[in-house]
């Protein structure tokens, strides 16, 4: 379990995306809630999860939904991952000594933190949890008064959980 949990204030950070753009959590929260998705490019559960996060991003981006990947790998590897899995939301590089990951107490990937605009962690999830991802999707949609399509399609075989 991460050392940052629901109800706690999210640690502030800033970092560079794989394209060199600087982002800070404070800057993101000024625009609304932010979903942080910590991952490693070689993680099979991350590879399974990120296309669904991208689907969420696509469904809600017009309402200024912010999903940020935070990768513990090099920028070229992150760029390959993004291309292979169709990820278009920003990916921040958290390479050695993994400052951001340490501040959040990341023990497993993927680890997801939905942070509300007040900076508090609303939802934490690690691994792939269908119920948690649906809760995040529902929370973001309600907050933005949006009615997105279903995140998981009836034709998809989605497990309830995949450990990270």
Tens digit of pLDDT for each residue in 143-160? 888 888 999 999 999 999
What is the rounded CA–CA span in Å between residue 124 and residue 132? 8
Show the 3-state SS of 57-83: HHHHHHHCCEEEEEECCCHHHHHHHHH
Closest CA to 36 of 160, 119, 95, 96: 119
The domain total for the chain is 1
What is the model's pLDDT at position 112? 98
pLDDT > 70? residue 99: yes
List, in sequence order, every beta strand (DSSP E) within 107-157.
Answer: 111-115, 121-126, 128-129
What is the model's pLDDT at position 152? 97
Query: pTM of the entire structure?
Result: 0.96
Residue 17 lies in a domain: no
Pairing mode, strands 66-71 and 34-39:
parallel
Residue 83 lies in a domain: yes
pLDDT > 70? residue 1: no
Range of the domain at 47: 33-146
Closest CA to 110 of 60, 67, 61: 67
What is the model's pLDDT at position 143? 84
Vertex 136, ends 112 and 22: CA angle to 5°? 50
Residue 72 lies in a domain: yes
Please provide the average confidence, as pLDDT, over all residues in the chain.
Answer: 95
Tens digit of pLDDT for each residue in 28-49? 999 989 999 999 999 999 999 9
Q: pLDDT band for 74, please (50, 70, 90 cuts).
A: very high
Residue 39 lies in a domain: yes
Residue 69 lies in a domain: yes
What is the model's pLDDT at position 61? 84
Residue 21 lies in a domain: no
Report, as an integer, the average pLDDT of 68-93: 97
Residue 62 lies in a domain: yes
Cis amide leading into 97 (omega within 30): yes
CATH number of the domain where residue 73 is located: 3.40.30.10
What is the rounded CA–CA span in Å between residue 160 and residue 110? 15
- N-terminal to C-terminal alpha carbon distance within the chain: 11
What is the model's pLDDT at position 163? 95
Residue 112 lies in a domain: yes
């Amino acid at each position: 379990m991460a050392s940052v949990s629901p109800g706690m204030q999210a640690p502030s950070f800033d970092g560079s995306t794989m394209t060199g753009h600087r982002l800070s959590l404070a800057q993101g929260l000024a625009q609304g809630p932010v979903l942080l998705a910590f991952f490693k490019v070689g993680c099979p559960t991350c590879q399974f999860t990120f296309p669904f996060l991208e689907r969420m991003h696509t469904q809600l981006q017009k309402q200024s939904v912010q999903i940020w990947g935070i990768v513990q790998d090099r920028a070229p590897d992150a760029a390959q991952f993004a291309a292979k899995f169709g990820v278009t939301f920003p990916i921040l590089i958290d390479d050695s000594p993994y400052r951001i990951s340490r501040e959040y107490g990341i023990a497993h990937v993927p680890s997801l933190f939905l942070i509300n605009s007040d900076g508090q962690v609303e939802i934490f999830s690690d691994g792939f949890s269908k119920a948690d991802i649906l809760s995040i999707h529902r929370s973001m949609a309600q907050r933005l008064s949006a009615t997105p399509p279903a995140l998981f399609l009836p034709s998809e075989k989605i497990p309830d959980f995949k450990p990270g």
